[in-house]
Amino acid sequence: MNSSRILILAICTVTLATPVPLSAQDVCLTDAPFGKGIPVQTNPRKIRREIVVLPDGRRIVQEREELAIVNLASAWTPGQRIYVQFVDDDPDEDLVDKVIGNARKWESYLNLRFVFVDLDRSLDEYKIDKAHIRISFRGSGHWSRVGTNSTDEDNPNRPSMNLDLGSYSSDQEIRRVALHEFGHALGFYHEHQSPRGGINWKQPDAMDYYLEKTGWSRQRVQKNIFDPIDENEVTVSAFDRNSIMLYPIPPELTRDGFSVGWNTELSSTDINAAAAVYPSSVDSVGKARVRIAPSWLASGVMVVSLLDNSPYARLRQFGDNSQTWKLELGDVITQVNGKKVTGPRSYFDAVSNQNGRLVIRVRDIRTGKDMDFTAR
């Protein structure tokens, strides 16, 4: 508790003659067509935490092993319906169903709703001119436009996302690719391009490796893998080696032996970031002035952010009035006045019947310990 985390979003391919930090204006990201089965060994490392005070006064906790990157200018509006259409003629229905199932894993943690256009229905039946996200399986490589940039294309049949998948693709590959590309469509950048990622690349070995694996030009590899995102246009926390948005990195490509294998599931930081950018509910019932979302850490509701004058910013530990505590992003409220909280509905039920007394039990995001507080 006591400090806030910060986030980041999304991706496209822009080839430049001179490497420069990737701007949020570069609205599409192409993903490398790596060969299958890259031999990567896990390299366990200790998490190093440090509190950093930014020039605008914000405090963040940087952790060597955790990060999310988000450009809020490309984020959708929380609560928005996002229409998604498969634009190919006669696509593989089994493949479509698998992609939809995996995309909905993101939906479980954020306040957006994907509306997938039925293959046998027209856009007119949905009373829209163009789907927000348009998916094809027929292009080369995996890529997606970033967040709301998906809507920039005027042609309703031109894809904003391509998934180079087919009946030959394994369920694991479909899951990995669908989660990754929908992450871009939600606004997430690649983890390895974080301005605070600190990957100590071993050059020219790393460049030569990705040139061979991707078949890209040198400028394109530099742009999509090594150039950091422009920190002036995004909000950033710390590096997450488990993020679905991270490429595999063999240990021989880094000077310190850092390595990452294929990530095939959403990490806790991915989930945390999605819930923070697209918060579910605001507690106006209990007047706690807090944004909450369903929790991934424990049964309860996760704190996304505190609004101005929130009593959750001046808590007293139950039985100890010696110091003031403040909830932070990721803390989970598991009980209110002794009543178990399982989600937003049970939370609102509990705070609406507080009778002037508010005692909450919180699972601390940092320590994993349960702590009891009184709100003032």
pLDDT value for 48:
35
What is the C-alpha to C-alpha distance for residues 75 and 278, in angstroms, rounded to an integer?
8
pLDDT, averaged across the chain: 77
Of the two residues 16 and 214, the one the predictor is more confident about is 214
> Whole-angstrom Cα distance, residue 281 to residue 291?
6
pLDDT tens per residue across span 38-60: 222 222 223 333 333 333 444 43
What pLDDT is recorded for position 230?
A: 67
Q: What is the pLDDT of residue 284?
A: 60
**Euclidean distance between CA atoms 7 and 110, whole angstroms:** 14
Alpha-carbon span 36 to 155, nearest angstrom: 34
Model confidence pLDDT, tens digit, residues 174-226 = 999 999 999 999 988 887 776 666 788 999 999 999 899 888 899 988 988 88
Q: Please write the tens of the pLDDT for every residue from 285-341.
A: 566 788 887 776 678 888 877 877 888 888 999 878 788 899 987 789 999 989 999
**Highest mean predicted confidence (pLDDT) among 165-174, 243-252, 269-278:** 165-174
Q: How confident is the model at residue 166 (pLDDT cuts 50, 70, 90)?
A: very high
For 122-148, the pLDDT digits (tens) are 999 999 999 999 999 998 889 999 899
| Residue with more model confidence, 351 or 164 | 164
Question: What whole-number distance in Å separates Cα of residue 353 and Cα of residue 315?
Answer: 19
pLDDT band at 20 (very low <50, low <70, confident <90, very high): very low
pLDDT of residue 7: 35
Cα-based distances in Å from 267 to 35, 239, 243, 264, 359:
23, 12, 5, 9, 31
Phi/psi for 62 (5° steps) reads -95, 130
User: What average pLDDT does the segment 273-281 reach?
Assistant: 76
Has residue 84 got a pLDDT over 60? yes
pLDDT at position 12 over 50: no
d(CA 195, CA 245): 15
* Helices and strands counted in the chain (H then E): 6, 19
The H or E element that residue 111 is part of is none
Q: What is the pLDDT of residue 83?
A: 96
Percent of the chain clearing pLDDT 70 (strictly above) = 74
Over 80: is that where the pLDDT of 30 sits? no
pTM for this structure?
0.65
pLDDT of residue 193: 76
